[in-house]
Amino acid sequence: MKIKELALENRVTFIYEDTESASKKPISSNFEDDSFSSRKGLNELIFDAKLGKFDTLFVYSHDRLTRNVHESLLLKYLFKKLNIDVVYCRPGEDLNTQNQKINEFFDHLLNNIAQLEANLIGARVKLGNEYKIKNNLWAGGPPPYGYKLNKGPKGRTTLKVSAIEAAIVKEIFNLYLSGCSPKIIAELIREKYPENNDRKWTVNSIKSIISNESYLGYIVWNKKGGARNPVKHTNPIKSSKITENEIISNEIWEEVKKIKSLIRNNPKFLSTPFLLKDFLVCGDCGKKLKCKNNGKGKKRVYYCDNDKGKWDFCIDAKEIEEKIISKINERITDLLSDEKHYDEFYNAYVKKHEEKIGLLKKQREELYEEYKSVIAELENCEKEIFELTQTKHDVDMEKDKTQYVLLDSLKEFKSFLCINKEIIEKKLERNAEKQREPLISKEKFKEKINKDTKLLDSISKKLDSNIYKRYIRILLLNTIEKIIITHDKNVEIISLYFS
């Protein structure tokens, strides 16, 4: 036998010998040592085995073929069914006694030892990486986009900001805050930075960047399980804050989180052609105005669907959008024309914020009472179902059909209560998120208003652009509570900034 090569590290090398028969030629391939579901090389081997391309497989050792007991059993069953002999070449890997049961026991033992070894290695690597992360060191692998590796003594690698890439990361966050979708951002970055096109800018790569907490100055590790266990982890390992590595401020991060949460709950919030949707309120009945697109070449409209009739109150969408956006811009500009208005402006904002938090707390109390009531009903329902089920053993329920009907009704009611419980839990979660929104400092408040004023001024001239329509939706979300409009088209804007 001529052994061509042995397995090294995490690679599996299948070893073949020259066959006596000229009709049978040995097949030589390398296969990656990875999980069963993603082992491309192993799948190719199994495919070749099913085609009958070989009848003997030479493997260096058990742990080179697999380090998973379940995989080893599946492979053994498959090769036995296909009449393929598996020969392990390392001394001590095959017992080869006359007793087949002992051989099988020894084979299973070696497979279990291989899996134990894999688990021990994994645990040690994890502990080592946790130690590195907690000491602000890089655990290994390519750095996040925006950083480069800085290799220190004794293999102590840290992250260092890459100025060029960091500028692109900042631009991606700003574009997202301006209403651009990940697809649009990818296109804009590819167009603006053609020299950087060695990196594949895709929707997923943009989503990955705006979701990466590393840009706040942390080293985050173990967010995902990798190829063997590709499940997102809820509690990844995180270093302490490294100030010099901060690319994105906490304020920008929170704004991005807010928009992502908004889109998750309402996917069409930014893409709707109706800029004032969810903001316009009928001044007569207090209901939110609905929207209707009458088709190509026809007008878009807002209307009040009240008791008087669907089209009792109907207004042209483009006309009212231009009017209100212009009015918001003028109002803010007028109020900020004098420096002393800032204090008045900010005090009004603080008052509205406090009122908002107070209202949210009251709503939370009401939701919690409703939640406790549902839990109590659910417990009673489960108790009654249990008692009826127990009765089934003592009473001939065939004689009492009402017992069956009652049991079915209780089970249906339990399902309804469970759904209601989940709905209230989501409402409580959203309420808590809104309460966590911080009060903006006076300095940040002033910066934000000046920024919003300039943007509204430029945006109002570009109403036909989809990107800028998305941005207006975000700006309205951040500045407007509601817009009251009466049947004679009088407008009252209730803002977070001004009364």
Could you read off the pLDDT of 443-485 as tens digits, one per residue?
A: 777 777 666 666 555 544 444 467 777 878 887 887 788 888 8
State whether 299 and 419 are in the same domain: yes
| Residue at a domain's end among 238, 265, 292 | 265
Cβ-count burial 4-40 (b if 16+ within 10 Å, e if not): eeebeeeebbbbbeeeeeeeeeeeeeebebbbeeebe
- List the CATH number of the domain containing 18: 3.40.50
Please state, rounded to an integer, the average pLDDT across all residues of the chain: 77
Question: How many Å apart are CA 74 and CA 463, to the nearest integer?
Answer: 62
Cα separation, 288 vs 277, in Å, equals 8
Question: By the 8 A CB rule, do 129 and 222 touch?
Answer: yes
Domain identity same for 284 and 260: no
pLDDT at position 170 is: 92
92-101, 165-174, 420-429, 488-497, range with the lowest pLDDT: 92-101
496: exposed, middle or buried (Cβ count in 10 Å: 0-12, 13-18, 19+)? middle
Higher per-residue confidence, 429 vs 440: 429
Inter-residue contact 238 to 212 (CB < 8 Å): no
Q: What is the pLDDT of residue 87?
A: 84
270 lies in a domain? no
Q: How many domains does the chain have?
A: 3
Verify that 173 and 234 share a domain, yes or no: yes
Q: Domain for residue 453, yes or no?
A: yes
Residue ending a domain, choose from 265, 289, 320? 265
> Strands 85-88 and 56-59: what pairing?
parallel
- Strands (DSSP E) contained in 29-132 are 30-32, 56-59, 85-88
Choose one of 101, 130, 159: the last residue of a domain.
130
Q: Are residues 30 and 153 in the same domain?
A: no
Q: What pLDDT is recorded for position 172?
A: 93
Convert the pLDDT of each residue in 245-261 to its tens digit.
899 988 889 889 888 88
pLDDT of 452 reads 62
pLDDT in tens, 180-202: 889 989 988 888 887 766 678 89
**Strand ranges inside 295-417, DSSP E:** 300-306, 309-316
Range of the structural domain that residue 197 is part of: 147-265
Q: Are residues 158 and 81 in the same domain?
A: no
Tell whether the model's pLDDT for residue 6 goes beyond 60: no
312 domain-assigned: yes
Residue 275 resides in a domain: no
